[in-house]
C-alpha cells in the first residue's frame, strides 16, 4: 500500500517523533522551571531554561503542523489510489463476477470501507510507532537518573499497552460482523429506495420496514458488544497519565532519601508526558478491529479473481465476424447443473439469428458465453474462427455491441448516454442514430433536446423510450457483431414494427443474435434457433420450423396475439 509513498510516510513519522519528543522535553523543562522558581526564583537562572522551554514548544508546534499536513496528504493520496483500485476491481470483475454481490455492499466497500482506512494511514500506523519509541526514550532518560522510577514507569506503561493490544484483538470477530451487518443495512436501505414504487404498489411497506429494522437490530447488538469492549480500553487510556504519575511518585516516596523532591517532581511530569503517546496509540488500537474488517472487505474485492481471465493475445479480428459454437457446455458454478449442453451453432456474417425458448431454456446463457461474461466448461466459442479465450477482453468487447434486456441509462443527458457508445460522435451522428430507431422526433420534442437529463437510471423516460436510446447507442458503437437481448420488449406492436423497418438497414453486414419472444421479432430473423432445457432443439427458418418443430409451434401458440392465432398451425405435433 505504501509503495511509492514511503518518503512521505517516513517524513510524517519523523515529524510525529519530533513533536512527541519535543513534548517530553517541554515537560521536563517545565518541571525544571518550577523547581528553580520554587527553590531559587533567580531570573538569571530561569532565563536560559525559559528560552529552552519556549523553543521546545515552538518545535513541537511546527512539528505537529508538518506531521498533520504530511500524514493527511499521504492518507488522502492513498485513499484516492484505493478508490481507483476498487473501481478497476469492479471493472475487472464485471459483469459476471458481480452477480453474487449486492449493489449496496459494493457501494459500502467502495466508499465507507475505503474512507475508513484513512484513520489507519493518517494516524494509527504512525501513532503506534510513536507510542513505542517515545515512552521507550522517556524510560531510558529516567533510568539514567533513577532506576527504580524507570522500572515503575515501565510496568505501568507495559500493562496499559498490553491491555490496549489484547482487548481489541478479542473484538476482531465482532468488528467483522459489524462491517458485514452495516453493509447489509445499507443494502436493505438501497433496495428499499430503488424499489420504493414497487413496495408502495404492492402494499409491502410494513414488510420492508421490518426487514430494515431486523437488519438494524442485528447490527446494534454487535455495536453494543463492541462498544463495551472499547469502552474499557478508553477508560484505561483516560486514567493512564494520572496513574503513571501516581506510581512514579509513590515509588519515589518509598525510595527516599535516594530521590530528591526536585527529581521526583520532574519524574512525575515526565511520566505523564510519556503516557500521552501510549494513550494515542491505544485509541488507535481499539479501532484496529474495525479497520481490519474494513481492510478485509476492500482487499477481498481487490484480490478477487475475475470469472474470465484476460489472458488472450489477439487484439483484433482479421477475418469476417462469424460466430460458431462447437459442442459448448456452460454452467454457472462448479456445483451447478449445466445451463447449456452440447450446443453446435453457426451464424454467418450479415445474418440475423433469433434465439427462442421458454424461460430458463438457456437463451441469455448462450449470449453470456458469446460475450464471455463466463467461460465455457467444454467446447469452444469462436468469433471469426478464433476462440474467444484467445482474444483479449478489450478486443472482444470491441467486436460486439450488446443491448441487454434491462436498459441502464446514467443520470446524465441523452447526448452523454448516447456517446457512451461513441465518445467522439457529433450531434449530427447522434441524430442519425436516433432517427434510425425512430426516436429523433421524441428527442426534438423535449425542451432541451439532446441535452435533456434522463434522471436516475433513465427514470424520466418510459421503458420504450429507454430502449430506443439504448438501440441508438449500440448503432453509434458500430461493431461487426450485434447481440440484442429482448431489446424491444417495452415497445408496443406498432412501435416495434416501425423499429424493425428502421433497424433493418442498420443490421445489414452485421452478424446479429437476437433473443426474442415476439413473433414479429422472430419473423424478421433469417434463421431461428430453438433452445429447450439447455439443448439446441432445432435450427431453421420460421416457415421450416413451423413445419417440423413441435416445440417451436407450441412457443408461438402461447406467445402470438389473439388476432394472429388462426395463422399458427397448432394441430400438427
60: domain CATH number is 1.20.1560.10
Q: What is the pLDDT of residue 63?
A: 92
Is the domain of 290 the same as that of 376? no
* Cα 262 to Cα 39: distance, rounded to the nearest angstrom: 9
- Assess if residue 447 is contained within a domain: no
Q: What is the pLDDT of residue 434?
A: 84
Omega before residue 257 within 30° of 0, cis: yes
* Cα 41 to Cα 488: distance, rounded to the nearest angstrom: 94
Q: What is the pLDDT of residue 62?
A: 94
Is the domain of 190 the same as that of 278? yes
- Assess if residue 317 is contained within a domain: no
Is the domain of 151 the same as that of 217? yes
Task: Give the number of domains in the chain.
Answer: 2
- SS3 string, 255-300, reads CCCCCCHHHHHHHHHHHHHHHHHHHHHHHHHHHHHHHHHHHHHHHH
Is the domain of 327 the same as that of 299? no
- Assess if residue 494 is contained within a domain: yes
Quick one: which of 462, 454, 449, 523 has its CA closest to 491? 462
Q: What is the pLDDT of residue 65?
A: 93
- Assess if residue 475 is contained within a domain: no
Is the domain of 214 the same as that of 342? no
pLDDT tens across 395-427, in order? 877 788 887 777 778 888 888 888 887 888 888
Pairing state between β 386-387 and 338-347: unpaired
Is the domain of 273 the same as that of 333? no
Domain boundary among 273, 303, 333: 303
User: Under 8 Å CB-to-CB from 534, ≥6 apart: which residues?
Assistant: 338, 339, 340, 341, 361, 362, 365
* Cα 279 to Cα 276: distance, rounded to the nearest angstrom: 5
CATH of the domain at 504: 3.40.50.300
- Assess if residue 422 is contained within a domain: no
Domain boundary among 303, 335, 356: 303
Report how many helices (DSSP H) and strands (DSSP E) the chain contains, helices first. 20, 10
Is the domain of 296 the same as that of 327? no
The radius of gyration of the chain's CA atoms, rounded to the nearest angstrom, is 35
Which regions of the chain are under pLDDT 50? 561-573
Q: Is the pTM above the cut of 0.95? A: no
- Assess if residue 411 is contained within a domain: no
Residue the block writes with cell 518550577:
34
- Assess if residue 471 is contained within a domain: no
- Assess if residue 573 is contained within a domain: no
Instruction: Identify the domain containing residue 94 by its residue range.
Output: 6-303
Domain boundary among 256, 274, 303: 303
Q: What is the pLDDT of residue 59?
A: 93
Helix axes 172-194, 205-254, angle to 10 degrees: 150
Is the domain of 295 the same as that of 330? no
Mean pLDDT for the chain overall:
79
Is the domain of 220 the same as that of 268? yes
Is the domain of 211 the same as that of 333? no
pLDDT tens across 169-225, in order? 666 666 677 767 777 777 777 777 777 777 777 777 777 788 888 888 888 877 777
Is the domain of 296 the same as that of 401? no
Is the domain of 285 the same as that of 363? no
Q: What is the pLDDT of residue 533?
A: 87
Amino acid at each position: 500500500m505504501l509503495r511509492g509513498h514511503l518518503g512521505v510516510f517516513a517524513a510524517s513519522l519523523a515529524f510525529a517523533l519530533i513533536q512527541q519528543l519535543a513534548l517530553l522535553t517541554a515537560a521536563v523543562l517545565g518541571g525544571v522551571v518550577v523547581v528553580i522558581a520554587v527553590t531559587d526564583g533567580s531570573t538569571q537562572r530561569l532565563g536560559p531554561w525559559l528560552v529552552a522551554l519556549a523553543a521546545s514548544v515552538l518545535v513541537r508546534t511546527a512539528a505537529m503542523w508538518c506531521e498533520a499536513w504530511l500524514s493527511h496528504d499521504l492518507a488522502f493520496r492513498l485513499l484516492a489510489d484505493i478508490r481507483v483500485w476498487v473501481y478497476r476491481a469492479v471493472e475487472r470483475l464485471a459483469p459476471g463476477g458481480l452477480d453474487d454481490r449486492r449493489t449496496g455492499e459494493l457501494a459500502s466497500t467502495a466508499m465507507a470501507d475505503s474512507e475508513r482506512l484513512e484513520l489507519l494511514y493518517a494516524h494509527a500506523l504512525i501513532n503506534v510507532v510513536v507510542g513505542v519509541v517515545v515512552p521507550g526514550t522517556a524510560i531510558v532518560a529516567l533510568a539514567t537518573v533513577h532506576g527504580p522510577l524507570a522500572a515503575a514507569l515501565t510496568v505501568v506503561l507495559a500493562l496499559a499497552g498490553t491491555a490496549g493490544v489484547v482487548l481489541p484483538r478479542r473484538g476482531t470477530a465482532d468488528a467483522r460482523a459489524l462491517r458485514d451487518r452495516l453493509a447489509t443495512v445499507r443494502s436493505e436501505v438501497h433496495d428499499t429506495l430503488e424499489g420504493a414504487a414497487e413496495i408502495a404498489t404492492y402494499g409491502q411497506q410494513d414488510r420492508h420496514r421490518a426487514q430494515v429494522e431486523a437488519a438494524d437490530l442485528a447490527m446494534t447488538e454487535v455495536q453494543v458488544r463492541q462498544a463495551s469492549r472499547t469502552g474499557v480500553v478508553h477508560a484505561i487510556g483516560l486514567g493512564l497519565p494520572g496513574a503513571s504519575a501516581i506510581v512514579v511518585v509513590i515509588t519515589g516516596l518509598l525510595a527516599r532519601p535516594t530521590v530528591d523532591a526536585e527529581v521526583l517532581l520532574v519524574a512525575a511530569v515526565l511520566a505523564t508526558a510519556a503516557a500521552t503517546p501510549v494513550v494515542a496509540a491505544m485509541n488507535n488500537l481499539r479501532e484496529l478491529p474495525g479497520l481490519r474488517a474494513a481492510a478485509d472487505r476492500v482487499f477481498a474485492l481487490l484480490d478477487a479473481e475475475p470469472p474470465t481471465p484476460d489472458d488472450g493475445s489477439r487484439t483484433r479480428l482479421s477475418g469476417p465476424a462469424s460466430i460458431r459454437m462447437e459442442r459448448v457446455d456452460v454452467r454457472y458454478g462448479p456445483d451447478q447443473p449445466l445451463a447449456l449442453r452440447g450446443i453446435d451453432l453457426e451464424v454467418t456474417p450479415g445474418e440475423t439469428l433469433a434465439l427462442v425458448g421458454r424461460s430458463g431454456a438457456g437463451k441469455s446463457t448462450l449470449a453470456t458465453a458469446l460475450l464471455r461474461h463466463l467461460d465455457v466448461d467444454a467446447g469452444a466459442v469462436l468469433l471469426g474462427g478464433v476462440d474467444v479465450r484467445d482474444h483479449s477482453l478489450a478486443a472482444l468487447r470491441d467486436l460486439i455491441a450488446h443491448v441487454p434486456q434491462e436498459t441502464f441509462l446514467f443520470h446524465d443527458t441523452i447526448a452523454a448516454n448516447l456517446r457512451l457508445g461513441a465518445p467522439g460522435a457529433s450531434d449530427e451522428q447522434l441524430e442519425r442514430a436516433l432517427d434510425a430507431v425512430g426516436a429523433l422526433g421524441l428527442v426534438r420534442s423535449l425542451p432541451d433536446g439532446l441535452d435533456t437529463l434522463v434522471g436516475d437510471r433513465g427514470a424520466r423516460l418510459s421503458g420504450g423510450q429507454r430502449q430506443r436510446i439504448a438501440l441508438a447507442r449500440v448503432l453509434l458503437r458500430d461493431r461487426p457483431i450485434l447481440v440484442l437481448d429482448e431489446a424491444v420488449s417495452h415497445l408496443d406492436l406498432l412501435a416495434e414494427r416501425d423499429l424493425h423497418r428502421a433497424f433493418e438497414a442498420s443490421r445489414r453486414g452485421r452478424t446479429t443474435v437476437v433473443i426474442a419472444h415476439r413473433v414479429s421479432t422472430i419473423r424478421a430473423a433469417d434463421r431461428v434457433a430453438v433452445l429447450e432445457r439447455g439443448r439446441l432443439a432445432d435450427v431453421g427458418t420460421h416457415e421450416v420450423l413451423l413445419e417440423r418443430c413441435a416445440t417451436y409451434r407450441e412457443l408461438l401458440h402461447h406467445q402470438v396475439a389473439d388476432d394472429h392465432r388462426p395463422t399458427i398451425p397448432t394441430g400438427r405435433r
